Amino acid sequence: MPLDRWSESVVRYFYCKKFAELFPGVHQLVECDKIDLVLREGSAIAFVEFKFYRHPIRFDPYDGSIRGFKGGPGAKNLLEFQS
């Protein structure tokens, strides 16, 4: 699959899948409150925030021409990440 068709959700899927293979005893909580992934094993907890810094190309839906790039994270997403 070309990288231009990937998104943060796709990256998280493959990360979680591989993580489960390597560490089957670790419980994964996806989209836990405002955290992308919470990993729990006993009393140990880790928070993982995925950021997929890639600006996908916008295409015209009628003729397929390139219309520029999609923007970056929104203000709300940026504030959540900073907090």
| % of the chain surpassing 70 pLDDT | 84
pTM for this predicted structure: 0.64
Domain that holds residue 17: 3-82
In terms of residues, how long is the chain? 83
Cβ proximity of 37 and 30 under 8 Å: yes
Nearest residue to 68 (alpha-carbon basis) of 57, 81, 77:
57
> How many Cβ atoms sit within 10 Å of the Cβ of residue 42?
8
The rounded percent of the chain whose pLDDT value lies above 90 is 40
In the chain, the number of structural domains is 1
Question: Between 77 and 40, whose confidence is greater?
Answer: 40
pLDDT for position 5: 72
